[in-house]
Structure 1
Amino acid sequence: MRFCFSLLALLSASAAWADTIPVSSKVTEVTMYPDSAAITRTAEFQISAGKHRLVLQGVPNTATLETLRIDLTGARQIGTVFRDEYAPPREFNDPRIEEAEARIDEIEQRIQAVKDDATRAGLKGAAAEVSIGFLRQLGENEGLADATPDALRDIARMISAEAETAGQTALDAEIEARRIERQLQELEDELDTAEQALEALDVESENRVFIAVEVEADEASEGAIVLNYLSGWGTSWTPVYDLKLETGDSPKLSIGRGAFVQQNTGENWTDVTLHLSTLAPIGQVSPSLLGTHYRWIEDPEPVALDSRVSSYAEPLVEPPVIIEEAGSMWSAETDDTGVTYSYGEPVSITTGAETLRLELDVLNEPGEVMARAVPMQDEMAYRVVRFTNTSGEQLLSAEYAARYIDGTFIGIDKFDGLAAGEEDELGFGPIEGLQIRRDTLDQSEGGRGIISRSNQQVQKVEIEIENLTGETWPLHLRDRVPYSEQEDLQITWTATPRPSVEDLDKRRGILAWDLEIASGDSRKIELETSLSWPEGMELR
């Protein structure tokens, strides 16, 4: 008996350890990165003294389990069990979803009832056709040849009456079938609408992960579990801008800042605290490994001219990495690793279906409006605004920045970002009346072409500018001449008038003219370039 008691005590202790308590959890705070999101979800529980297993419900399978961290209050954490396979599906407890599902079930029942009516109508019609066929055969029966006239009349009346009844039954069945077909189509459309309404509500994934926290408490207590993990499944944020130019005597540039936010975690976020960070935790976090550099010699191959000689293209310049500080409803924290913005109100975002735009604030900067022309590429000049970022804040780069002039939308372009105190220029569309023409002239005949010999090439270019607008434009025009790093390739050039700047922004061969073009005025720029090289060599 004493053994049995000990066994019962052991079983009781085991039962206390195996006490499984389902705990509902929800997302309460999210820090979004450009390529992922750090998610915080919380759950509250009540337990008695002893050991328990708390099963966290609702965690989607987009959670990266390797990054999962748990903070516990109200009990001692002993261990954690989690798995992403063989996990129970999420529970449907949204009353809107239950109502939509009930609506679909009711429509499906009505569709089945209509299909039953169609079957009954079809049976009536088939029976009527059988009766009509029988009556036709009865009228052709050879045994009626010996019948008396009165009997024939009675039989004829009977066949006529029965045939009319059967024909009316068949017609009614056909009419009913057409009505049912229309009704069925209407119900199918109604079902499609109801299913679409359910899809709009039920966008969450059924796939969940199983997370169980084994805890122990010395006495009955209340506690909370805070779960932190990373989700990198289509969850991101990007900056967005509205750039509005107000023209006039004192041009002003208005920079409206915002953020596009979208998430695809498999569950909806409702009233979460939102942070936006410039960090990239999924990106590279350690320095690269430098490999050895093996060199060898071999017989030389024919050497072509340096490819740089043939390239007149401007060198690529990597855009700076720029961070933005926030204002308005946003607060910002800046450290050596990046910037984190915190939104001042709770945010709700539906998974996989919504892109939320959050407005930050509006910066106003005085600007200088000018025309910029690149005749080699464009046939007209473009309006450009030069301004300095005097806000003391840094602006992030963005793929989408809408442009407006005096309230009129003119287009969308990327924005490279701007550091605090830095000067920049933004394009605001073409100036239709400021026309640019660039012609290559033949030196001797005045036609189009290039004078060229086997080891010399001379090119004359004429650039014509005509201002057909009703205002004076400060025009900044850019063109180029070739350059060489080989002594044997001699390049000379002349320009009338001379450019205001040579090798603009340290880019060799880029020339710039600063002109003032009054309304109705026209200007010409002549540019002549000469290249010469030794006989027997080819120009590239």
Structure 2
Amino acid sequence: MRYSFSLFALLSTSAAWAGTIPVSSKVTEVTMYPETAAIIRTASFAIPAGKHRLVLQGVPDTALLEFLHIDLTGARQISTVFRDEYAPPREFTDPRVQEAEARIDEIEQRIQSVKDNAKRASLKAAAADVSIGFLRKLGENEGLADSGPDVLRDISRMISQEAEAASQIALDAEINAREIERQLRDLADELDHAEQALEAIDLESEDRVFIAVDIEAPESTDGTIQLNYLDAGGSFWTPVYDLRLETGDTPQLAIERGAIVRQRTGENWTDVTLHLSTVQPIGQVGPSPLYSQYRRIEEPGPVLMSPPMARNGSAVASMSEPLIEAAMVMEEASSMWSAESDGPGVTYSFGQPVSVSSGADTLRLELDVLTEQGEITARAVPLQDTSAYRVVRFTNTSGEELLPAEYAARYIDGKLVGVESFEGLVAGQEGEIGFGPIEGLRLSRDVLGQSEGGHGIISRSNEQVQKVEIEIENLTDQAWPLQLRDRVPYTEQEDLEITWSATPHPSEENLDKRRGILAWDLAMEPGETRKIRLETTLSWPEGRELR
């Protein structure tokens, strides 16, 4: 229970009110945030002079009453009372719901009628069985032995005729039973479809909250009341992207931005004004506290080694190049949307009324298209991949933040190459977008020799030498600018000495300020094969362990 008491109660409960007036309210405007929704619902009222209580009907229990704000015109607001217990259920006024319920009732009556017919048929079959049993015993009666031939002939004929009639009744009952069984199966399917149709229409929850606003007017007046609150039902919007790369002499990248909207308020939204905001009102709004740091020393203990992990999310993968997602320049905006920067974020307003059913509809709205000319390169990470990947680098010059998205489809010249998450970019940030593997740029990484003074990686020897050969082969029919990335270990301990050499020498060391990450910038012509040799030596004092 969130609330079961009145807020801002400025009058005693014994105050005399001219009347309690139920007021129907509906959602008219919604601002969707990434994790919630701010809802505006409005209602109109007409009151005589005096003090009154307006009971606002239809507010679902997903409304966060802690954030409730009421705007009133036409009268003076005195106090507000709300509770989420003992609230009246919603009224089923949707004519489509009434029609669906009437359909279900009609089918259920037909099912009962068929069951009644089945009962009548079973009674006839039982009566026929009794008659056949009686006739069988009558034919076995010993008293008939003294009867004359004519009497026996008449009795025999009568038994045969009656038995045939009873058997026909039994057969007809059996046939009717099979037909009735088929009818019941058909009616059961029809009832199931009717119930599904009702569920598809009747998506609203019966749970409501009680909100009453005590007002006063010096004279008869018409007014409006507006409720503003946040939703706790799990409503949200999330961006969705179609990233389209057009290759050629002047490669161009277009990002088609859309929005996925879902709401679970417990009531359907019909023809509401919709806004999408990048602000996150439910979340951290102030800086994190900084606490004092306490350190201590203790006797050394065994070091637990982490088990090997899979490529994705592994300790090895964490050392590889992270994906930096992309940026755009706004080229054209959809005429259906208007955008406004409100300081902390951007709000997009849709130009037409929107309807979204609660808990069922997933609404996709197309937002705008951003375009930018980018630099296409090939990226090779032979430690983890067997092919190079196509990446596009550019800067987000749109002037606004591009929000993260769970799904961003990637297309090359109109063909889908994959779907991956989008990490987002702030305004002015440079980023990269991957567009799938280049199958003709093949990679291999082989350890040619590894020597240790003992057995295993962790040993009491004092030296380890590793020689690696990396091979890149361009099997495509075009030249590729390629950046290859690999790594060497690093240390912050003076007693552990690490030396390395590479042929050819890398173009950049400690790439992006990450120690030990090396990068080679190569130009790979069609059919060309290149090799890189990398040798690393680690040495440390005797009696110490390498970890």
TM-score by length of 2: 0.89
Q: Tell me how far 1:338 sits from its aligned partner.
A: 2.7
1:532 and 1:289, CA in 2 relative to 1: closer, same or farther beyond 3 A? closer
Q: Tell me how far 1:336 sits from its aligned partner.
A: 4.2
Q: CA RMSD in A?
A: 2.8
Preserved CA contact (<8 Å) 1:35 1:232? no
Q: Which residue of 2 aligns with 1:379?
A: 386
**Correspondence for 1:332 among 320, 335, 339:** 339
Q: Tell me how far 1:344 sits from its aligned partner.
A: 2.0
Q: Which residue of 2 aligns with 1:88?
A: 88
**Correspondence for 2:359 among 322, 340, 352:** 352
For structure 1, which runs of at least 5 residues remain unmatched after alignment?
1-13
Amino acid corresponding to residue 158 of structure 2 in structure 1? M
Q: Tell me how far 1:39 sits from its aligned partner.
A: 0.8
Q: Tell me how far 1:304 sits from its aligned partner.
A: 7.3
1:481 aligns with 2:493: no
Distance (Å, rounded) in 2 between the aligned partners of 1:393 and 1:72? 36
Preserved CA contact (<8 Å) 2:323 2:433? no
Q: Tell me how far 1:207 sits from its aligned partner.
A: 1.1
Preserved CA contact (<8 Å) 2:39 2:231? yes
Q: Which residue of 1 aligns with 2:428?
A: 421
Amino acid corresponding to residue 522 of structure 2 in structure 1? L
Distance (Å, rounded) in 1 between the aligned partners of 2:302 and 2:110? 81
Distance (Å, rounded) in 2 between the aligned partners of 1:305 and 1:125? 85
Q: Secondary structure at the match of 2:373?
A: strand
Amino acid corresponding to residue 48 of structure 2 in structure 1? S
Amino-acid identity (%): 72
Q: After TM superposition, what 4+ stretches of structure 1 lie above 6 angstroms from structure 2? A: 303-308, 315-320, 322-326
Q: Which residue of 1 aligns with 2:300?
A: 302
Preserved CA contact (<8 Å) 1:71 1:226? yes
Distance (Å, rounded) in 1 between the aligned partners of 2:114 and 2:543? 92
Preserved CA contact (<8 Å) 1:277 1:338? yes
1:73 and 1:323, CA in 2 relative to 1: closer, same or farther beyond 3 A? farther
Deviations 1:302-334 (A, max 9, x none): 2779999x98753998999x9999943333333
Distance (Å, rounded) in 2 between the aligned partners of 1:439 and 1:101? 71
Amino acid corresponding to residue 319 of structure 2 in structure 1? E
TM-score by length of 1: 0.90
Preserved CA contact (<8 Å) 2:346 2:400? no
Distance (Å, rounded) in 2 between the aligned partners of 1:157 and 1:432? 93
1:167 aligns with 2:167: yes
Q: Tell me how far 1:511 sits from its aligned partner.
A: 0.6
1:314 aligns with 2:319: yes
Distance (Å, rounded) in 1 between the aligned partners of 2:422 and 2:367? 17
Count of aligned residue pairs for this structure pair: 518
Q: Tell me how far 1:292 sits from its aligned partner.
A: 5.4
Distance (Å, rounded) in 2 between the aligned partners of 1:522 and 1:458? 26
Preserved CA contact (<8 Å) 2:323 2:432? no
Q: Tell me how far 1:18 sits from its aligned partner.
A: 4.5
1:139 and 1:522, CA in 2 relative to 1: closer, same or farther beyond 3 A? same
Amino acid corresponding to residue 354 of structure 1 in structure 2? D
Amino acid corresponding to residue 105 of structure 1 in structure 2? D
Amino acid corresponding to residue 194 of structure 2 in structure 1? A
Q: Which residue of 2 aligns with 1:518?
A: 525
Preserved CA contact (<8 Å) 1:471 1:518? yes
Q: Secondary structure at the match of 1:457?
A: strand
1:324 and 1:40, CA in 2 relative to 1: closer, same or farther beyond 3 A? farther
Q: Tell me how far 1:16 sits from its aligned partner.
A: 7.4
1:351 and 1:323, CA in 2 relative to 1: closer, same or farther beyond 3 A? farther
Amino acid corresponding to residue 352 of structure 1 in structure 2? G
Q: Which residue of 2 aligns with 1:231?
A: 231
Deviations 1:442-461 (A, max 9, x none): 279xxxx99x9921111110
Distance (Å, rounded) in 1 between the aligned partners of 2:304 and 2:89? 65
Q: Which residue of 1 aligns with 2:461?
A: 454
Q: Tell me how far 1:418 sits from its aligned partner.
A: 2.2
Distance (Å, rounded) in 1 between the aligned partners of 2:142 and 2:225? 95
Q: Which residue of 2 aligns with 1:57?
A: 57
Residue pairs, 1:101-500, within 5 angstroms: 101-291=101-291, 300-302=298-300, 313-314=318-319, 327-328=333-334, 329-442=336-449, 454-500=461-507
Distance (Å, rounded) in 2 between the aligned partners of 1:162 and 1:307? 93
Preserved CA contact (<8 Å) 2:460 2:543? no
Report the more deviating stretch, 228-237 or 75-84. Answer: 75-84
